[in-house]
Structure 1
Amino acid sequence: MAIAVETLEKLERKMTLSLPVGSIQSEVTARLKKLARTVKMDGFRPGKVPMNVVAQRYGYSVQYEVMNDKVGEAFYTAANEAKLRVAGQPKINEKDGAAEGEMAFEAVFEVFPEVKIGDLATAEVEKLTTEVSDAAIEKTIEILRKQRRTFSLRPHDAPAQETDRVVVDFEGKIDGEPFAGGKADDFQFILGDGQMLKEFEEATRGLKLGESKTFPLVFPADYHGKEVAGKTADFMVTVKKIEAAHLPEVNEALAKSLGIADASVDGLHADIKKNLEREVKFRLLARNKTAVMDALVAKAELDLPNASVRAEMDRLLEAARADLKQRGIKDADKVEIPDDVFRPQAERRVRLGLVVAELVRANNLQATMDQIKAHVEELAASYEKPAEVQRWYFGDNKRLAEVEAIVLENNVTNFVMSKAQVTEKAIGFDELMAQN
Structure 2
Amino acid sequence: MEVIEKKSDGLSREYGVILAAAEVEEKMHFKLQQIAETVRLPGFRPGKVPPKILRQRYGSRVMGEVLEEAVNDSSQQILKEKGIRPVSQPDIQVTSFDEGKDLEYTLAIEVFPEITPMDFSKLTLERLELIPDSKKVNDALDNIARANKTTRPIKTKRKSKTGDIVILDFVGKVDNTEFPGGSAEKYNLELGSNTFIPGFEEQIVGTQAGDELDVTVEFPEDYQAEQLAGKSAVFECKIHELHEAKKASIDDDLAKKVGMSDLNALKKAIEEEQNREFEQMSRLLIKRQLLDVLESKHNFDLPKKMIENEHASILSQVKRDEKDSSKDEELTDEKEYFEIARRRVKLGLLFSEIGRINGIELDQDDMKKAMLEETKKHPGEEQKVMDYFKNNPKAIEQLTAPIYEDKVIDFVLDQSSITAKKMTMDGMIKILEDENKEKRKKKLVSAKKTGGKQKKGKSSTTRKSSDKKAKKTIKQKKSDPPSN
**Shorter-chain-normalised TM-score: which range?**
0.7 to 0.9
The residue matched to 1:88 in structure 2 has which SS? coil
- Aligned partner of 1:267 in structure 2 is 265
Q: How do residues 16-415 of structure 1 correspond to structure 2 at under 5 angstroms?
A: 16-25=16-25, 59=60, 63=63, 66-93=66-93, 102-171=102-171, 177-181=176-180, 184-223=184-223, 229-260=229-260, 263-325=261-323, 327-329=324-326, 340-366=335-361, 408-415=404-411
In structure 2, relative to structure 1, the CA distance for the partners of 1:134 and 1:404 (3 Å cut) is: farther
Residues in 2 aligned to 1:227 and 1:318: alpha-carbon distance in whole angstroms: 23
The residue matched to 2:159 in structure 1 has which SS? coil
Residues in 1 aligned to 2:168 and 2:142: alpha-carbon distance in whole angstroms: 27
Counterpart amino acid of 1:199?
G
- Aligned partner of 1:430 in structure 2 is 426
Residues in 1 aligned to 2:423 and 2:271: alpha-carbon distance in whole angstroms: 18
Counterpart amino acid of 2:326?
I
Q: Deviations over 1:97-138 (max 9, x none)?
A: xxx974444322211112112233433323222223212212
The answer to whether the 8 A contact 1:87-1:307 is kept is no
Residues in 1 aligned to 2:26 and 2:396: alpha-carbon distance in whole angstroms: 45
Residues in 1 aligned to 2:12 and 2:344: alpha-carbon distance in whole angstroms: 20
The residue matched to 1:271 in structure 2 has which SS? helix
Displacement of 1:403 in angstroms is: 9.3
Counterpart amino acid of 2:279?
K
Counterpart amino acid of 1:294?
D
TM-score, normalised to structure 1, is: 0.74
- Aligned partner of 1:10 in structure 2 is 10
Residues in 2 aligned to 1:141 and 1:283: alpha-carbon distance in whole angstroms: 22
The residue matched to 1:17 in structure 2 has which SS? strand
Structure 1 portions without partners, runs of 5+: 39-46, 381-391
Q: Deviations over 1:39-95 (max 9, x none)?
A: xxxxxxxx9xx879868xx95x87566435422321122212322111223344567
Q: Deviations over 1:6-45 (max 9, x none)?
A: 761221123332202134346567879969x89xxxxxxx
The answer to whether the 8 A contact 1:28-1:63 is kept is yes
The answer to whether the 8 A contact 1:166-1:190 is kept is yes
In structure 2, relative to structure 1, the CA distance for the partners of 1:219 and 1:74 (3 Å cut) is: same
The residue matched to 1:270 in structure 2 has which SS? helix
The residue matched to 2:90 in structure 1 has which SS? strand
TM-score, normalised to structure 2, is: 0.68
Displacement of 1:315 in angstroms is: 3.7
The residue matched to 2:127 in structure 1 has which SS? strand
Residues in 2 aligned to 1:402 and 1:95: alpha-carbon distance in whole angstroms: 33
Residues in 2 aligned to 1:216 and 1:271: alpha-carbon distance in whole angstroms: 43
Residues in 1 aligned to 2:248 and 2:418: alpha-carbon distance in whole angstroms: 45
Counterpart amino acid of 1:424?
A
Residues in 2 aligned to 1:174 and 1:89: alpha-carbon distance in whole angstroms: 53
The answer to whether the 8 A contact 1:127-1:422 is kept is yes
Residues in 1 aligned to 2:308 and 2:173: alpha-carbon distance in whole angstroms: 49
Residues in 1 aligned to 2:148 and 2:396: alpha-carbon distance in whole angstroms: 35
Residues in 1 aligned to 2:398 and 2:132: alpha-carbon distance in whole angstroms: 28
Q: How many residues align?
A: 398
The answer to whether the 8 A contact 2:161-2:191 is kept is yes
The answer to whether the 8 A contact 2:153-2:244 is kept is yes
The answer to whether the 8 A contact 1:208-1:239 is kept is yes
Residues in 2 aligned to 1:6 and 1:124: alpha-carbon distance in whole angstroms: 46
Q: Deviations over 1:309-331 (max 9, x none)?
A: 23333443444344345x44279
Displacement of 1:287 in angstroms is: 2.1
* Identity percentage of aligned residues: 23
Displacement of 1:232 in angstroms is: 3.1
Residues in 2 aligned to 1:316 and 1:354: alpha-carbon distance in whole angstroms: 18
The residue matched to 1:112 in structure 2 has which SS? coil
Residues in 2 aligned to 1:341 and 1:194: alpha-carbon distance in whole angstroms: 35
The answer to whether the 8 A contact 1:160-1:207 is kept is yes
Residues in 2 aligned to 1:122 and 1:281: alpha-carbon distance in whole angstroms: 24
Structure 2 portions without partners, runs of 5+: 41-48, 374-384, 433-468, 470-484
The residue matched to 1:125 in structure 2 has which SS? strand
Residues in 1 aligned to 2:131 and 2:212: alpha-carbon distance in whole angstroms: 48
The residue matched to 1:168 in structure 2 has which SS? strand
Counterpart amino acid of 1:287?
L
Displacement of 1:252 in angstroms is: 0.7
Displacement of 1:402 in angstroms is: 8.6
The residue matched to 1:311 in structure 2 has which SS? helix
The answer to whether the 8 A contact 1:11-1:303 is kept is yes
Residues in 2 aligned to 1:366 and 1:173: alpha-carbon distance in whole angstroms: 57
The residue matched to 2:273 in structure 1 has which SS? helix
Residues in 2 aligned to 1:68 and 1:131: alpha-carbon distance in whole angstroms: 62
Residues in 2 aligned to 1:124 and 1:402: alpha-carbon distance in whole angstroms: 31
Displacement of 1:411 in angstroms is: 4.5
In structure 2, relative to structure 1, the CA distance for the partners of 1:228 and 1:123 (3 Å cut) is: closer
Residues in 2 aligned to 1:101 and 1:184: alpha-carbon distance in whole angstroms: 75
Residues in 1 aligned to 2:334 and 2:171: alpha-carbon distance in whole angstroms: 43
Residues in 1 aligned to 2:173 and 2:318: alpha-carbon distance in whole angstroms: 36
Counterpart amino acid of 1:428?
T
In structure 2, relative to structure 1, the CA distance for the partners of 1:171 and 1:14 (3 Å cut) is: closer
Counterpart amino acid of 1:193?
S
Residues in 2 aligned to 1:411 and 1:25: alpha-carbon distance in whole angstroms: 49
The residue matched to 1:84 in structure 2 has which SS? coil
The answer to whether the 8 A contact 2:145-2:247 is kept is yes
Residues in 1 aligned to 2:76 and 2:88: alpha-carbon distance in whole angstroms: 12
The residue matched to 1:142 in structure 2 has which SS? helix
In structure 2, relative to structure 1, the CA distance for the partners of 1:2 and 1:76 (3 Å cut) is: farther
Q: Deviations over 1:138-189 (max 9, x none)?
A: 22222322332222112342322223221113345566x4534565543332
Residues in 1 aligned to 2:55 and 2:101: alpha-carbon distance in whole angstroms: 24
